[in-house]
């Protein structure tokens, strides 16, 4: 007689894994305020955060308009399940840029 393994929900699976015991965790502080979606407003916001020159912003906006006119590719993998409005396209790091490889330890 074979038994069917118990299927856990996502929450049960996460709970069963327990707390990570080595001190590393990703709290997503940097991504907490990042905007989701791909729109002109998001492109303008990202460009402003990166202090890009006007010509680069215009190039990005032109590319966005071109992207919006193109159909999803029908070759290769099926991409229909991609929710472009749920992606964070730019997340600025909250860590300081290191000047050396020395970690001070």
Sign of CA pseudo-dihedral 45, 50, 54, 60:
negative
67 phi, psi to nearest 5 deg: -55, -45
Q: What is the pTM of this model?
A: 0.58
pLDDT at 81: 87
Count the neighbouring beta carbons within 10 Å of the beta carbon of residue 47: 19
Asked if residue 15 is part of any domain, the answer here is no
Q: In sequence order, what are the residues at sequence separation of 6 or more whose Cβ sits closer than 8 angstroms to the Cβ of residue 35?
A: 41, 42, 45, 88
Residue 2 lies in a domain: no
What pLDDT is recorded for position 17? 75
Residue at 102 is within a domain: no
Work out the angle between the directed axes of helices 40-49 and 54-69 (0-180°, nearest 10).
150
Please tell me the predicted confidence (pLDDT) of residue 10: 81
Kindly state whether residue 52 falls inside one of the protein's structural domains.
yes
77 inside domain: no
Q: What is the pLDDT of residue 59?
A: 97
Q: What is the mean pLDDT of each run of 10 residues along the chain (105 residues)?
A: 77 75 62 82 91 96 96 88 88 75 69
46 falls within a domain: yes
The answer to whether 66 touches 56, Cβ cutoff 8 Å, is no
Spell out the residues 6+ positions from residue 34 whose beta carbon is closer than 8 angstroms to its own. Answer: 88, 90, 91, 92
105 located within any domain? no
* Domain assignment of residue 49, given as a range: 34-71+83-90
> Is residue 51 one of the residues assigned to a domain?
yes
Q: State the number of CA atoms in the 13 A half-sphere of 93 facing the CB.
A: 4
**How many domains, the chain?**
1
């Amino acid at each position: 007689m074979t038994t069917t393994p118990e299927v856990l929900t996502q929450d049960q699976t996460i709970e069963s894994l327990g707390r990570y015991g080595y001190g590393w965790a990703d709290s997503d502080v940097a991504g907490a305020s990042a905007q989701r979606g791909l729109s002109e407003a998001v492109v303008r916001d990202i460009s402003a955060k990166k202090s890009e020159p006007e010509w680069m912003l215009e190039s990005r906006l032109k590319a966005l308009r071109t992207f919006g006119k193109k159909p999803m590719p029908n070759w290769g993998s099926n991409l229909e399940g991609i929710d472009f409005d749920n992606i964070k396209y730019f997340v600025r790091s909250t860590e300081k840029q290191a000047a050396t490889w020395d970690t001070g330890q």
